[in-house]
Chains A and B, each alone.
Chain A
Amino acid sequence: EDKVVQSPLSLVVHEGDTVTLNCSYEVTNFRSLLWYKQEKKAPTFLFMLTSSGIEKKSGRLSSILDKKELFSILNITATQTGDSAIYLCAAPTDSWGKLQFGAGTQVVVTP
């Protein structure tokens, strides 16, 4: 059975800290791994990773995939209160794109 596991489930940091979120996966026909940010509404797409070792970066957020060890990390540097959200990791389990989600990591950034 395909599965995606995120850790930690939640964390609280102070503004300016760096956070690292983990996502491990077991997917039979692995194609890609995606990160989303969910505040009160829609999950917002952050990154899609397909190749091992190539970092994707967007502002203070970055992510990398390790296909040998079957995990990905999402880093947020110089955190701001606006980074408070649930961060979701997901992997498609078939060629149609059906996503298997992790339970998410709730990040709280305090002023």
Chain B
Amino acid sequence: NAGVMQNPRHLVRRRGQEARLRCSPMKGHSHVYWYRQLPEEGLKFMVYLQKENIIDESGMPKERFSAEFPKEGPSILRIQQVVRGDSAAYFCASSPAGDQPQHFGDGTRLSIL
């Protein structure tokens, strides 16, 4: 009974490159959430998706960041032209419904050189 799977676990990019973070929700979960944890800060909501739909992206920067959850395959968080300030842990969570507990993946630690 696999949990939320994220990959890669660690990702190193140089400034200006693109970062792609992947998340496969738990089986039976159709709600996917992305959160960012900056050093010394708490978890901050970025975006909420269901299959093929972005429901709420109010926490995601308007530029350089995008997310998708296609009909087939994992959810992707994409960061274009990365900058040092994007260095953080990015966590994905999933739930079967909005009023059910979210279960988290192990996160992707993104480091920008």
Contacts and interface: CB of A to CB of B under 8 A. Distances in A.
Contacts of B104: 36, 42-45
A104 B37 CA distance: 12
Contacts of B28: none
Given A96-B56, A97-B31, A98-B33, A104 B48 contact: no
B43 A101 contact: yes
Residue from B41, B44, B45, B100 having most chain A Cβ neighbours under 10 A: B45
Nearest to A104: B42
A96 B55 contact: yes
A41 interface: yes
A31 interface: yes
Nearest to B98: A97
A48 interface: yes
Contact of B45 (A41, A100, A102): A100
A95 interface: yes
A103 interface: yes
B105 A42 contact: yes
Contacts of B31: 96-97
Interface string B34-60: 010000011111001000000110110
Given A100-B45, A103-B42, A45 B103 contact: yes
B41 A103 contact: yes
A41 B101 contact: no
A45 B101 CA distance: 7
A88 interface: yes
A97 B102 contact: yes
Interface of A: 31-32, 34, 36, 41-45, 48, 88, 90, 92, 94-104
Given A42-B104, A97-B98, A99-B35, 17 more contacts: A32-B99, A41-B106, A42-B106, A42-B107, A45-B102, A48-B101, A90-B43, A96-B55, A96-B56, A96-B98, A97-B31, A98-B33, A98-B48, A101-B42, A101-B44, A103-B41, A103-B42
